[in-house]
Amino acid sequence: MALFKLPGIHVNHHKNTANLKPVEMPVPKMVILPMNMHIGATASPIVKVGDKVKVGQKIAEASSFISANIHSPVSGVVKKIEDFLTGNGTYVKAIHIESDMLQTLSEEVQVPHVDSYESFVEALKNSGIVGLGGAGFPTHVKFTIKDLSKVEVVLINCAECEPYITSDTRTMIDDIELLKEGTQLLEKYIGVKKIVFGIENNKKEAIKSLKTLEDEVVQVKVLSAKYPQGGEKVLIYNTLGKIVKEGGLPLDEGVIIINVTTLASIARYIKTGLPLIKKTVTVDGSVVNKPMNVITYIGTPIKEVFDFCGGFKERAAKVMYGGPMMGIALPSLDLPVTKTTNALIAFNEKEARLPEESNCIKCGRCINHCPLHLDPCAFAMALEASNVEELAKLKVNLCMECGVCSYVCPAKRPLVQKNRLAKAELKKYEQQLAKKQDTSKAEK
């Protein structure tokens, strides 16, 4: 029986920088390192103001199981540790380090001794590596598995389906040896017998590069260039034919899924011992003078990144972390590159202007194109009626906020924003309900 392909949309790819090899930026004079550059609990600073630090030195450590270490990308002095307004509008502690421009390597940077599954996972924990496709899930957590026999396949996400972004594409072209070493590490320490690279068919050079890795374990699955092909559940279904059930995890279906640049970073750390302190970032958009891929230190203010790319042709009306479909609009150019920053995109006034919203015409396009067959119109109605029970019944929590519904809506309704608000309302309701239940139990 033929595999049913999940719906989605065709978007303008704008892969303007796909053929541009990354250029390394100079060491920044100051780096800003927020403690929430990953999913989970914020990291806890282990340095204080006035401390001298070196490149690769651990300056903040994971505060819980789902958290990640943070390392200094520069040598210099800790100037301040204070609350910092991040791109998502929340305040979090951030360590500000003034570089001495010497880039003195820390004595902590040592090639890890890896000879078992346990030592492999410990190395991942020490590396500070998180999901580099934008999600930011701590990588060591993803590979902490009670029963390795459950792992049937490791799926490498190479889709990079967001418009403009090509940083992963460059990994597949420029770092193929690291990817080869990465697959060997997975075979050796996870014991996996099948590794699949899932890639869209609009990346011809990258496909050619990945094909050199194919053997009895490693496969390359070429998929249609359709957004959101890189969504976790979408990619698992379209490459492996497996459905991750509601509330379930990929591992429930025998799958571990990681981003392709994450795999290269794992191999680099095991080889060199240098933790995650640099990123390849795509810099593009209509107002950028010289779109390019740059290798920049984590913590570098994004204004310096744009300046390195020639600055702006005209006023940037909107600047984003990530692509136009799922990226975050930024309030300031003073924000830094983080571990999860794979692109910085800047748009002019015309592109940034929100379209005028009109009434829903019940056309059903949002439902027909939703990759998970959800009903954004019903979400919006339940939200407006403050009907959180209905939101739960409609499975609003399954929404991955890909933006397809807003993109196809002829009435230009901000459906994905409403979905996000609806999920927040449901979460608040569930927390209040759990609190009431706890109080009721305590009274009994």
Instruction: For 316-356, write each residue's pLDDT tens digit.
Output: 999 999 999 999 999 999 999 999 999 999 999 999 998 99
CATH classification at residue 340: 3.40.50.11540
CB neighbour list of residue 442: distance below 8 Å, 6 or more residues apart? none
Residue 1, Cβ density class (10 Å: 0-12 exposed, 13-18 middle, ≥19 buried): exposed
Residue 435: the pLDDT is 82
Rounded to whole angstroms, the Cα distance separating 172 from 204 reads: 11
Rounded to whole angstroms, the Cα distance separating 160 from 280 reads: 14
Residue 5 C-alpha from the chain's centroid: 24
For residue 228, give the amino acid letter: P
Residue 439: the pLDDT is 76
Domain-embedded: residue 92? no
Radius of gyration, CA atoms only, the chain: 22
Rounded to whole angstroms, the Cα distance separating 221 from 210 reads: 10
Domain end, chosen from 323, 353, 383, is at 353
Tell me how crowded residue 345 is: count the other CB atoms within 10 A of its CB: 28
Q: What percentage of the chain carries pLDDT values higher than 90? A: 91
Domain-embedded: residue 69? no
Same domain assignment for residues 276 and 133: yes
pTM: 0.93
Domain with 403, as residue range(s), is 365-443
Domain-embedded: residue 380? yes
The per-residue pLDDT for range 240-288, each reduced to its tens digit, is 999 998 889 999 999 999 999 999 999 999 999 999 999 999 999 999 9
Same domain assignment for residues 327 and 394: no
Q: What is the pLDDT along the chain (444 residues), one digit of tens a residue?
A: 334 456 789 999 999 999 999 999 999 999 999 999 999 999 999 999 999 999 999 999 999 999 999 999 999 999 999 999 988 888 999 999 999 999 999 999 999 999 999 999 999 999 999 999 878 999 999 999 999 999 999 999 999 999 999 999 999 999 999 999 999 999 999 999 999 999 999 999 999 999 999 999 999 999 999 999 999 999 999 999 999 988 899 999 999 999 999 999 999 999 999 999 999 999 999 999 999 999 999 999 999 999 999 999 999 999 999 999 999 999 999 999 999 999 999 999 999 998 999 999 999 999 999 998 999 999 999 999 999 999 999 999 999 999 999 999 999 999 999 999 999 999 998 888 888 877 777 776
For the chain, the straight-line distance linking the first and the last C-alpha, in angstroms and rounded, comes to 55
Q: Quick one: CA torsion of 194, 195, 199, 201, rounded to 10 degrees? A: -50
Of 240, 227, 226, 253, whose CA–CA distance to 3 is shortest?
A: 240
Rounded to whole angstroms, the Cα distance separating 337 from 360 reads: 38
Domain-embedded: residue 142? yes
DSSP secondary structure string for all residues of 265-281: HHHHHHHH---S-EEEE
Same domain assignment for residues 274 and 373: no
Three-state SS at 361: coil
Number of domains in the chain: 2
Alpha carbons within 13 angstroms on the beta-carbon side of residue 323 total: 23
Rounded to whole angstroms, the Cα distance separating 151 from 143 reads: 10
Rounded to whole angstroms, the Cα distance separating 227 from 376 reads: 17
Domain-embedded: residue 238? yes
In this structure, are residues 107 and 58 in contact, taking their beta carbons and an 8 Å threshold? Answer: no
Domain-embedded: residue 99? no
Same domain assignment for residues 341 and 415: no
CB neighbour list of residue 114: distance below 8 Å, 6 or more residues apart? 120, 123, 185, 189, 270
Domain-embedded: residue 308? yes
Query: Containing H/E element for 292?
Result: strand 292-297
Same domain assignment for residues 146 and 221: yes
Domain end, chosen from 353, 375, 393, is at 353
Same domain assignment for residues 141 and 186: yes
Domain end, chosen from 353, 380, 401, is at 353
Domain-embedded: residue 76? no
Sheet architecture: strand order including 58-61: 44-45, 58-61, 70-71
The per-residue pLDDT for range 66-85, each reduced to its tens digit, is 999 999 999 999 999 999 99
Rounded to whole angstroms, the Cα distance separating 282 from 280 reads: 7
Sheet architecture: strand order including 30-34: 30-34, 91-99, 76-85, 52-53
Tell me how crowded residue 108 is: count the other CB atoms within 10 A of its CB: 15
Same domain assignment for residues 267 and 124: yes
Same domain assignment for residues 188 and 327: yes
Same domain assignment for residues 159 and 200: yes
Same domain assignment for residues 264 and 392: no
Of 53, 143, 99, 88, whose CA–CA distance to 340 is shortest?
A: 88
Same domain assignment for residues 347 and 431: no
Q: Where in 130-254 does DSSP place strands (E)?
A: 153-157, 195-200, 218-223
Alpha carbons within 13 angstroms on the beta-carbon side of residue 412 total: 6
